[in-house]
Every structure is written in C-alpha cells, then in structure tokens.
Amino acid sequence: MAHGNVINLFKRFNLHSLVKAAGIVKEKGHSPMNMLFLMLLMILESSRSIYSGISSLNMVKLKNPLNNMLNDEHYNWRKLLYSVAKRYTKLCPTRKGDTPVLIIDDTAKAKRGRKGENSAWFVDHCRKVYYMGFQAVVSIWSNGTTAVPIDVEVKIGKARIEHAAKTHYHKGTHTCQREQMAKQKKLTIAVSFIKRALQRRFSFRCVLWDSWYTYTGSLRYVFCSLKVRGIDLISMVKRDKQLYRYQGRCLTVKEVYGRAGAWNIQADTGIKYKSVLVGILDKSTGLAPEQQKQLGEVRMCFYKYPSVKRFKVVISTNVELNELEVLSLYLRRWAVEVVFRDLKQHFGFDQSKSSKYAPQIADLTIRCVFYTMFCSLRYDQPEKSTEQLLIEFRRDMEELWLDTLCKIVFQNKIRSFLKYTLAKGYVMITELMKDLDYVVKKFFDEAWDDDIFEEMINYDFSKYPYPKAG
C-alpha cells in the first residue's frame, strides 16, 4: 500500500465534510479530525485502553482534547455513521445477482465499574452469565459481499446497578435523545433502526433478525409497513407456546411441526427440511386466540442438521420462496457475527474505559465509522485477509501520523511565536517582516521548547508489534 492511501481513503469518503455536517466542529483548539486520526492510530495500536494508547504514542498532552470530543453531548454521532455508511453504499454497490439485506442484532458491552453512568445488569445468553454494562444493539447493511454497521444504540437496562451514577445531559441535546431511546425495549429500537434506514434511502429487500425480536409488535410493523414497500422479514422463532393459525386451528410451533408432513433431504449437505403456510395472529387485542385477527401469512420452515437432534424454525413473509431459498437468505445473518468479531478483535470494541455514557456512544460510533471505511478496502481487495489489510494500513498510518504530529507541533509553536512577537511590541505584519530573521533567532533562543521536538524525532514505531493474525 503506497504512502498517502490513508489520506486518499479519508478523501474518498469525504470524511472532513461529513464530520462537519454532523455538527462535530470546534471553534478553537485541536480539530475533531486530528482527534479522529489519533483514535484510528490507537485502534491499530491494539491498546488495552484509550489512555494507554495515548501514552504509547507519547501524546498524553492530547488526552483532554480527545476526552472533550468524546464527552460533547451536542455532537450528532448517529448522523456521521449514517453518512459514512451511505457513502459506502455508493463506493461499494451491490453486485448483480446479490440481494441487499438489513440485519439487526445485539452483543454484550461489559463495564467493570459499579459507578458508571446508566450501568445495569444484563444476561449474556451465549455464555449464560450475568454481566454489568450495556447492550450494543446494531443495525447492519449487507450487499452480499461485505457488511457494515449503519446504526448503533448503547442500550440501557432496567436492572440498574446499585450506586450507578445518574446522568445530567441537557434536554434536546443529541446525547439526551440517545439516552431516552436507549431505555426503550429492543423491539422499539429495532423498528426505529428500520425507519431511519428507509428515511435515509438505504436499499434492502429483506430484514433478518433472530427470535428475540420476533414479537407481535414487530410482526405487525412488518406486515403493515414493510410488505407494502416490497420488503420481507426472515426470522427464527422460538419453540414456545405462541399460537399460529394452521388449517383453521390455533396451534403451537411443535403442533404445527407434527402436522407438517415428511422431511425432504438435500443430497449435498444432508439437511432435512419441510414447510407449511401459517397465519400470524394479533395478540395485542387481548381476545381469545380463535377470535384474534390474522396479521398475515408466513412460510414456516423446519430444518434439521445432520447429527443435531433439535430442529430449527424459520419464518418468511415471502411465501413464494422455497425452504432452501429461505435458509440461504437467513444464513446471511451470520454477517453480523463477523462484524462483531472484527470490531472486538481488530477495532478496540472494549478499549473505552470511561464511566460516562456520552463517550460510550461516541467511542462505539467512531469504531464503526473506521470499520466501514476499512470495509471499502476489503471490497476492492477481496483476495486479502483482514489481518493483511490491517498490517498494510498500519504501516502507512505510522508515516502519516509522524506528519500529523509535526503539523500539530508546528501549529502550537506558531501561536507561541505570534504571542512572543506581540509581547515584543510588534503589532504590524510589515514591521515583523523587516525584523523577521532577528525575531525568529530570539524566539528560538528564548522561548523554543526542544522537549516536544525531540520526543517526536525519537519516537520509535518499531517497538510496537503489528496486530497478530487470527
């Protein structure tokens, strides 16, 4: 990767304009772009925390400017992520024959401190343990080649931790609005993701999620709002006591399974499958099941994998699809697990140790933004692994960070030089230009601090190893 490709990537996404359009600006001090660049370098350093990352880069003096950016409650981080993702869809369009989909899922975002803002207890269903912190609910857009996050919510749980700090964000600010939404149910958050994706004109033919999002409310939204747009839902359902209308009777999943007939077998994989058409009932009316209104009809597919005793159940609102087509589309939901893995292994998902709520939103969004930009490289170079691209990208970043560091030092010293000239009585540029050589010599002799410059020259990137593959 040639030097300058990092700058080209920033220009390709027009990141500076997108950051400014999201209201992420400062009137004075270090610019948000410099702080974002620092965040990117810390991500590639694979530091255990943001502070240790700043320390390893010998830039502890930038700790306060970085924290100020992450803590600013007025910055519209959601708009920035959507803008970057929208730019990605234009740079990496859906290839012919692929079906764009929207995937919604969540993952654990644990926090250790008991006094963190809005910290609560959650259950990690994968590990079957309780943990403190938040849930990161994420909306993923996939074009069949790569998948990128387009929206995130740092969900706040109801089981608040004792002594957890309360927030005091001003009403109407971006963080306050995010906090109010984060207290809603996951179902409400998921529906808001879909609405915003449609408002921002993201193209997708199908919504994929797991059984935790399949409830009467979400299904009602799918049939009333999405089906009319030509968008279908493919979702796994639980084998619980939920009733479905089948052949005029109200039956559970297990009862429908017993009446679905014999298995078909796919010769190549040995997967058994069968399906029936069932009606989805509207439980919100509170009426008896026989009197409940039918929201719509779905194809309920049953699958049984070789050497697995229990069967899986997937429903599709597109009843024209056969069982294998439904399975093929639903398996694309695995893309969200790949995104979660990459964010955790390569993009510092747990790097932020802040106890405040606003930095949780900003930090996760920034990592999703850089992940999306990185996916455009993977789209253009599919033959390379994630680890290869990261190593090449990091090498280029090392050179570019040294240039950026020089500029930061230069800007700071210009301010010091101008203050020095004012103190010496120079108020006109023409007067200063006449005595410039003399004033510069006096400034370097009296006011120049060599510590920063020596720190920059002596910085040794080689002592930090490249990210390990796998």
What are the sequence ranges of the domains in the chain? 11-204+347-381, 406-463
Model confidence band, residue 301 (pLDDT cutoffs 50, 70, 90): very high
Distance CA 402, CA 255 (A): 66
* CA 5 from centre of chain: 23
Q: What is the pLDDT of residue 406?
A: 64
Q: Is 290 exposed, middle or buried (0-12, 13-18, 19+ CB in 10 A)?
A: exposed
Question: What are the φ and ψ backbone dihedral angles of 227, each rounded to 5 degrees?
Answer: -60, -35
Q: What is the 3-state secondary structure (H, E, C) of 305-366?
A: CCCCCCCEEEEECCCCCCHHHHHHHHHHHHHHHHHHHHHHHHCCCCCCCCCCHHHHHHHHHH
Distance CA 394, CA 172 (A): 39
Tens-place pLDDT, residues 352-386: 888 899 999 999 999 999 999 988 888 878 777 77
Model pTM score: 0.82
The overall average pLDDT reported for the chain is 86
Is 60 exceeded by the pLDDT of residue 336? yes
Mean pLDDT value across residues 217-244:
94
Tens-place pLDDT, residues 59-96: 788 888 899 999 999 999 999 999 999 999 999 888 88
Q: Which of 73, 72, 25 is nearest to 175 (CA)?
A: 73
Distance CA 98, CA 94 (A): 6
Residue 46 near residue 57, CB atoms below 8 Å: no
Question: What are the φ and ψ backbone dihedral angles of 242, each rounded to 5 degrees?
Answer: -60, 135
Residue 114 near residue 164, CB atoms below 8 Å: yes
Residue 256 near residue 333, CB atoms below 8 Å: no
Three-state DSSP at 193 gives helix
Distance CA 351, CA 153 (A): 17
User: 29-38, 147-156, 161-170, 399-408: which range is least confident on average?
Assistant: 399-408
Residue found by looking up tokens 């030509």 in the block: 230
Tens-place pLDDT, residues 89-117: 999 888 888 889 999 999 999 888 778 89
**What does the block give as tokens for 2?**
């040639």
What residues are paired with 141 via a beta bridge? 102, 148
Between the CA atoms of 40, 126, 142 and 81, what dihedral angle is there, to the nearest 10 degrees? Answer: -40
Is 80 exceeded by the pLDDT of residue 438? no
**What does the block give as tokens for 85?**
């993702």
Distance CA 409, CA 238 (A): 59
Mean pLDDT value across residues 242-247:
94
State what percent of residues in the chain have pLDDT above 70: 89
Question: What are the φ and ψ backbone dihedral angles of 313, each rounded to 5 degrees?
Answer: -125, 125
Model confidence band, residue 449 (pLDDT cutoffs 50, 70, 90): low
Residues present in the chain in total: 470
Q: What is the pLDDT of residue 277?
A: 97
User: 38-42, 54-58, 92-96, 238-242: which range is least confident on average?
Assistant: 54-58
Beta-carbon contacts of residue 275 (< 8 Å; ≥ 6 apart): 260, 299, 300, 301, 302, 322, 323, 326
Q: What is the pLDDT of residue 400?
A: 61
Helix H or strand E segment including 251 = strand 249-251
Model confidence band, residue 409 (pLDDT cutoffs 50, 70, 90): low
Q: Which of 195, 161, 165 is nearest to 78 (CA)?
A: 195
Q: What is the pLDDT of residue 453?
A: 45
What residues are paired with 245 via a beta bridge? 250, 279
**What does the block give as tokens for 333?**
């939901």
Q: What is the pLDDT of residue 134?
A: 93
Beta-carbon contacts of residue 294 (< 8 Å; ≥ 6 apart): 245, 279, 280, 281, 282
What number of CA atoms fall less than 13 Å from residue 57's CA on the CB side?
28
Residue 289 near residue 250, CB atoms below 8 Å: yes
Is 70 exceeded by the pLDDT of residue 128? yes
* CA 394 from centre of chain: 21
Q: What is the pLDDT of residue 244?
A: 95
Q: What is the pLDDT of residue 405?
A: 60
Dihedral sign, Cα of residue 135, residue 139, residue 143, residue 146: negative
